[in-house]
Structure 1
C-alpha cells in the first residue's frame, strides 16, 4: 500500500515539472487528456473550413 502512495506522489511531481514542456496539442499520457480528445481535435482540424 505504501508503494502506491510513493508512486502517486512521484507521478504528481513529474507531471507538475513536465506540464510546462508540453505543447497545447500534446495529448499522450497527460492528465485530463485522452486519445478521444486527440481524435476529436484531429477531426475538428480536418473538417474545419479554411
Structure 2
C-alpha cells in the first residue's frame, strides 16, 4: 500500500544520505532539510536506528 511504499522510499533515501555523509547524522539531516532530532525520530520509526 501507499504507507509501505513511502516508508521504503524514505528508508532508502535516508540510508543513501547517511552513506554519503559517513553516517554523520547532523550532516545528513542538513542535506535532507530536517532537524537532526526529527531525522533520528523518523529513522527510529523506519527501523533504521
TM-score category of the 2 structures, normalised to the smaller one: 0.3 to 0.5
Who wins on radius of gyration, i.e. which is larger? Answer: 1
TM-score by length of 2: 0.45
Structure having greater relative contact order (Cα 8 Å, sep ≥ 6): 2
In proportion to residue count, which structure has more helix?
A: 2
